[in-house]
Each structure stands twice: as structure tokens, then as C-alpha cells.
Structure 1
Amino acid sequence: MSEEILINVTPQETRVAVVENGMVQELLIERSQSRGLVGNIYKGKVKRVLPGMQAAFVDIGLERSAFLHASEIVDHQQSDSDDGSDDINRLLHEGQEIIVQVIKDELGSKGARLTTHTTVPSRYLVLMPENSHVGVSQRIEDEQERNRLRDILNEKEQSEEGYIIRTAAEGAGENELRRDVTFLKKLWDRIQTRIKTARCPALIYEDLSIELRIVRDMVASKVEKIRIDSESMYEKTKQFVSEFVPELEPRLEVYQGGRPLFDVYNVEDEIQKALHRQVPLKSGGSLIIDQTEAMTTIDVNTGAFVGHRNLEETIFRTNLEAASALARQLRLRNLGGIIIIDFIDMKEEEHKRQVLRTLEKALEHDHAKTHITEVSTLGLVEMTRKRTRESLERVLCEICPTCYGRGSIKTAQTVCYEIFREITRAARAYEAQKLLVLASQDVVDCLLDEEASSVAELESFIKIPIRFQVETLYAQEQFDVVLM
């Protein structure tokens, strides 16, 4: 499978597209005014301790206080009490200064999620200053290779720090690992010095910018090209690559074509499609994706696809195609948390197993951790996908000011009847010579046309004349009743 990484740079934002076999699979966007916080280390101050939640809110200098659970505190031990209710009070107190690291960005109305288990990554390793354990990424499946890598670090590193050997370290030599160890130790010394001198709250360590993180974390041997459409960013990335990932230097390329880089690879179109609720399938079926605060639901529809033999075959083929398509959509839209998939009901158990296997196989390329359940008695598949940053929709869009995120608005007729009730209330509560109703064009048209007889009856009932005026800036649900 061929893979390319495209990096589009403007002063306002940097966008990264991961393209596999000519199709966009993943999109990452970082804006200069709102860079992600994951990986950043802060010197914070405990603002509030919540014993009932076994958590605390910590001021790290952001608009919203960040959230720290007791399980994320290094010195956390099970309390002597049966319910552990006094754990957090023993570990933290209000006003206490504490070193924390962001493990999850601010999402929606929720503040950033914190841990005191600080880690600092490099190309092949992750330094764990508070731990002496040496672990190996689960994605390195060869046991012999796992042991070889672990032995290199165990043999050479007789220190208090621990390390996680990353997936990228598979096949790496001893010198490469030793170089990373030296780099991480120097970096941690600088962080320690900053911790001692910084005034609270303060940013102690900031993770790399998005284009350098991609090169460090996501690039593997299968990546053929890394194309960047900015000369300055290309030079910056080239310097980083030559120092930390020299084998990638021949694959780095500055794009100087006439057309925009994302247009050439059809990325702009894919971004627009990824904001639509409906995803068409080649067979004629479709996916309907609804993202809410609590979970994401995906409904599979057959559409025009009728199959060649029977209904069961139609359903099975549609579900197979949907399984592959939705795995791509999860990556493309960066949907996380709880995900409920409503496949079309299948009668044969073997068909259910094949659809699940197809979904699992399609998710193997996903960098985010996923967990899938069996098909439930209701025909649903429940899964989780680790979420550390906002979805594409939340990054690029905001709540609709007309429907307030509901996805629908009241009909003009419904608003008319609300106006009638408001007029009745106003006429009973206040004395007025006449009433003026301000509303949108469609609502006023409805009042003067379909509901004209109702308006006449209401005027006769309240014995006050009613006048209507169109307000072009009013949304359909907005109206005012003015006493004159």
C-alpha cells in the first residue's frame, strides 16, 4: 500500500492529509491561534478538589480549568477506606502547585484532561521520568524483535527513568536508540530547570508543531513522499528530519506546482464531503452519520442496490461495503468516543462474522486505538475509538445560529400559532391601542395567507387591531409582539 503525506501551509493554519492509494484517509488541522495542547507540560495550581468525583480542577493558565482524576496522579494509592473517598484529599489540596501534562484537548464545553504521569516522546522512544519500566509498543508483534529492543535499553540504561519503545523503533539499531536516549535526557534536564524557575501557572514544555509531529509519529517505511507547499516549512522540516529521521530525507519534497497542492490530490473536495451527514456508497446505498455530544451513530441504508439473487445478498454486500467506508470516515472525520453502527439486519451468522472481520481489517490502519463488540441482539455494533482531539466538524464548524444544533427548525405555521398565543397573553396583561408583529418573510406570508381567517378571528376576540411587519434579519423562529 502506497502512502503520501501532503502538508499545506498558510500563516493562519497548517493542514496535513494522509493519502493512501490515492484516497485521503486522514486530515489534521492546526490553527496558529488555537494549537492543540496534548503533550504540553504545565506548572499548574489546584483550584478545586472534588472528593465525590475523585478529581480536581487545575488552573494551567487556560480559559477553562483542566480536569485531573485521582487515577492520573503518580502517588495515587488505594485509600485505607473501603470506598476510597478520601484519596483525592490526601493527594491534593487547594492552592497546591503541581506539574501536569495534557492527555486530551479541550473538547466542546469540557476542559483539558490532565495527568501527572509526564512523558516526553522522541522518534523511537517515550521517556517516562516517574517510572523505571521499559515497555514495547503492542504494534511490534514479533516477540524476538520485542526482546531485542528491550534488551538494548535494559542493558545500557541503569537509571531511574523508564522508556516505552515506539512502533517506529522496529528494526532500529543500538546507536539510533542510544541517540534518542541522550536527546531525551538533555530535554528532560531543560524541563526540570524550567520547572524550578517558572511562576505558576506556566507552560513548561510545548510539543512539536503538527507537521513535525507527523514526521516523528506517523511516518513509516511505507510512506513514499512527504510533499510540503511552503519553502520555509520545507527547510524547517528538512532540518528536523536530518537530525532525527535521516532516512526520510530523500522522500521529503517541496511542492512548486501551479495548482494548489490540496486541489491536485482532491483533498479540498474530500474536506467538504466529510462535513456532510450522508456518505454515498458505490452500490447505491449510503451511510448516515450523526455526531452528538454523547456518541456518534452511523446508520447503513441499502438505497438503490438490489443485488442479483436475493434480499439477503443485497444486505450482505451493502454491509460489507459500508464496513470499509465507515472505517475510512472515522479516520477522515476524526470521530471518537462511543460509536454505534446500525448495519442492515442480517439473518445468517456467517454474514455477520464477515462484516465484523471486514470492519476490523479496515481499522487496522487507524492510528487511534479502537475496540469493537459483537453484533448485539438489536443488530447494532458498538465500538469505541480513542479521542484526543476535536473532530473535523468541531474544528471547522460551529453550532447553527438558526436551529441551535437541532438540525431542524419550526415550521412557519408552528411559529404563527406561537405568535397567536403571545398576542393573547399580551392583550390580557397590558392595555394597547394596537399590536405590531415583527417576524420573518415566510411567517408573515403565512399569517396573511393561510392563517388570514385566524388573524381576523383573533382581532375580533381581543378587540385590538394587529399589524404585521417583515424583518429580513429574523430567522424563521424569531418574532416580537410590540404594544403600540
Structure 2
Amino acid sequence: MLQDKRLIEYHFDRNDTNYAVGDIFLGTVRKVMPGLNAAFVDIGSEKDAFLHYGDLGEQFPSLNKWVNGVMKHQAQSAGLEDFKLEPLLDKVGKADSVFKKGQALLVQVIKEPISTKGPRVSTDISMAGRYLVLMPFSNTISVSKKIVSKAERDRLKRLIASIKPEGFGVIIRTVAEGHEVAELDRDMQSMVENWETLYQNLHKGQPREKMLGELGRTSSMLRDMLNESFDSIVVDTPGRFEEMKGYVQKIAPDKIGLVRLHNNKAKVFEHLGIEKQLKTLFGKTVSVPGGGYLVIEHTEALHVVDVNSGSKSNQENDQEATALMIN
């Protein structure tokens, strides 16, 4: 993402894994680690996923009961209106009191693997839409703190209360501000359909299988970030261009004109100056406004940041003032 030609966000989509943040898997507890208050869960990845007790979510007992019911074909529909919720999970507890080896768990990837570690997962399942986030086994309606108008917060709560299915909580996202019930309802129905798909897949699913996939990285970025400040969405391949046009048409049809295909001879990253900025970002020397620069190096134990005045030291007579400004 660029702002005034300056790179402010860079997301890298990995193609060497069968999962992404937001994907939901039927996992199996491989090992319980009381010392870490966590469990390692097999979701079919090269490294087992890490599930900490703190990432279970208060609705874990209800989720666990529902998953077992679906897998045993006791739940006849995806709806939760007749589902009896279990008491909330204690926020302070022990992993070995809720996990056992071989236990089936429905988990959602919340963090990609780092170095030698596997992905991090949670059982606090949620489904994100353009305007709303659907939270099963809850009836709470929450509004983003960035929506500050009390009248607007109350309006959105009333609208969502009138359309949300029983047994589901909802988080109203910032971009929902000012939108009417028809748009919010379309978003809600899309997430309810995803929940239905999850139910159907779980009904016949096997351990280590993906039950529900998140949107691709590009689409999920647009879903989460697209707002009135965007002035263009540049795509460099015809296939992805059509995909992005279709997705923007679905979530924000008034912004379809922002999507354009890059057809310059130079590669899009070179043409927009992104390549140069990336090389600078991942180098050890970083220029800062005012003429100074940083040298950043890391070791096994720590990161070292050396602050240098650079050419600025030759332009100022007052050494103390220069040092103060640079630092």
C-alpha cells in the first residue's frame, strides 16, 4: 500500500503452505504441554500448530459440544437457535484440564509460522465480512470504537439486532458507518452461508482437513482496508485484474473504477518505486528525514541500532543541537 508514493504496508502471500490466516481446520491434539499451558495440534502442516489456553476463547465449551454433535450427526442443521450454550470457559485455567491426546478440535489459523515454529491457532472462531464479523455461540453486538457518534452506534446496533441469526454475536466494523440495512444484511447472509458451508464440511470431514478457507490475501486486504481514501488499485496480470474487479464490484461497486490493469513496459513495482523502497527497508542502513541514518543489525540475543548524523553534521555549527535533532 502506498501513500503519497511512499510504501506504508507490504503483505507477502506465501504459496508454499496449504493454509492462510483465517482458514479453519479440523485438527487433532498431538501433544499436551502443561509447562506451556498449551497443546500442539496436527492440522496437516509441516509443523504442528500451537494452541495456547489463552487462545481458546470463552465459548470453547459450546464450540467443542457443537463440533462433537456435528461429527456424530446429532446436529441436524447449521443453525444455533436451538443450541444450548455451555457455561463460559474460565479465562485462567490449565491446558491439561481441557485437552487430551487425540482430541478433535475445530481451530482457526491466527498467525503464520515463524522460523522453526508452526502456525498459531485459536478455537475462538470468527468469520470476517466487509462490514461485520460473525461470532458463533454468542448473542453480543459490539461496535468498533472508531465509530464515535452515539446516534450512529445505536442505529447500527438496532439494525444488526433486527437481522442477525440467534446464537451468533456480531462485531460491527468501522467501515459499516453510514451504511443501510440492505448492505449490512448482504454481508451478514454471506457469512451465514460460510457457516453453513463449514457445517456441511465438518459433517463429512476428516482430521487434518480444511473446513473453510479464508479469502485470498489480495481480496482479504481489500475487504479490510478499502475506504474513501483509496484513489487506485493497480493489478499487473489480466487474470488477477478480472478477479479484483469482480470482488470490488461485490463489496463496493461504487469503487470499481479504481481497479486498473498495469500495462507499462516496466514492472509494476519498478514503475511505482516500490522495488527501491523494499531494498532499502530490508537493508541494514535506513535514511531518516533531516539527513541522518540508522544502521540496524541483529544478533541472536538483541538488535543494535546505531544512530548517525551523516551529512547533517557538516551543515550545523552547533554539535549539541545537531545531536539532539538527529536523536
Q: Do they fold alike, i.e. is TM over 0.5? A: yes
- RMSD across aligned C-alpha pairs, in angstroms? 2.2
| Rounded Cα–Cα distance in structure 2 between residues aligned with 1:78 and 1:249 | 47
Match of 2:139 among 132, 144, 159: 132
Cross-structure match for 2:90: 78
Cross-structure match for 1:357: none
More strand by share: 1
Is residue 51 from structure 1 mapped to residue 63 from structure 2 by the alignment?
Answer: no
Residues 401-416 of structure 1 aligned to structure 2 (within 5 Å): none
| Rounded Cα–Cα distance in structure 2 between residues aligned with 1:123 and 1:227 | 20
Match of 2:287 among 280, 288, 292: 280
Match of 1:252 among 232, 255, 259: 259
Query: Considering only CA atoms, is the larger Rg found in Structure 1 or Structure 2?
Result: 1
Is residue 20 from structure 1 mapped to residue 32 from structure 2 by the alignment?
Answer: no
Q: Given the superposition, is the C-alpha separation of residues 315 and 102 from structure 1 closer, same or farther in structure 2, using an over 3 Å criterion?
A: same
Q: Quick one: which amino acid aligns to residue 90 of structure 2?
A: Q
Is residue 60 from structure 1 mapped to residue 67 from structure 2 by the alignment?
Answer: no
Match of 2:122 among 106, 109, 115: 115
Moved more, 139-148 or 112-121: 139-148
Instruction: Give the drift of 1:63.
Output: 0.9
| Rounded Cα–Cα distance in structure 1 between residues aligned with 2:300 and 2:26 | 30
| Rounded Cα–Cα distance in structure 2 between residues aligned with 1:218 and 1:271 | 21
Match of 2:318 among 300, 307, 310: 310
Is residue 199 from structure 1 mapped to residue 218 from structure 2 by the alignment?
Answer: no
Higher RCO (CA-CA < 8 Å; seq separation 6+)? 2
Cross-structure match for 1:460: none
Residues 334-483 of structure 1 aligned to structure 2 (within 5 Å): 344=327
| Rounded Cα–Cα distance in structure 2 between residues aligned with 1:174 and 1:296 | 50
Q: Quick one: which amino acid aligns to residue 77 of structure 1?
A: L
Q: Given the superposition, is the C-alpha separation of residues 258 and 301 from structure 1 closer, same or farther in structure 2, using an over 3 Å criterion?
A: same
Q: Quick one: which amino acid aligns to residue 96 of structure 1?
A: Q
Cross-structure match for 2:188: 181
Instruction: Give the drift of 1:247.
Output: 2.1
Report if the CA contact (8 A) 2:131-2:174 is conserved. yes
Q: Which runs of 5+ in 2 are unaligned?
A: 62-87
| Rounded Cα–Cα distance in structure 2 between residues aligned with 1:167 and 1:230 | 31
Moved more, 274-283 or 197-206: 274-283
| Rounded Cα–Cα distance in structure 2 between residues aligned with 1:114 and 1:293 | 26
Q: Quick one: which amino acid aligns to residue 310 of structure 1?
A: D
Instruction: Calculate the TM-score normalised by the size of structure 1.
Output: 0.58
Instruction: Give the drift of 1:28.
Output: 1.6
Instruction: Give the drift of 1:164.
Output: 1.1
Number of aligned residue pairs: give it.
297
Cross-structure match for 2:113: 106
Q: Quick one: which amino acid aligns to residue 118 of structure 2?
A: G
| Rounded Cα–Cα distance in structure 2 between residues aligned with 1:291 and 1:35 | 31
Instruction: Calculate the TM-score normalised by the size of structure 2.
Output: 0.84
**SS of structure 2 residue aligned to 1:28:** coil
Report if the CA contact (8 A) 2:17-2:45 is conserved. no
**SS of structure 2 residue aligned to 1:39:** coil
Q: Identity of paired residues, percent?
A: 29
Match of 2:271 among 264, 270, 295: 264
Report if the CA contact (8 A) 2:136-2:167 is conserved. yes
Instruction: Give the drift of 1:36.
Output: 5.8
**SS of structure 2 residue aligned to 1:30:** coil
Q: Which runs of 5+ in 1 are unaligned?
A: 1-17, 319-343, 345-484
CA offset digits 1:308-363 (Å, max 9, x no partner)? 46344323432xxxxxxxxxxxxxxxxxxxxxxxxx3xxxxxxxxxxxxxxxxxxx
Cross-structure match for 2:98: 91
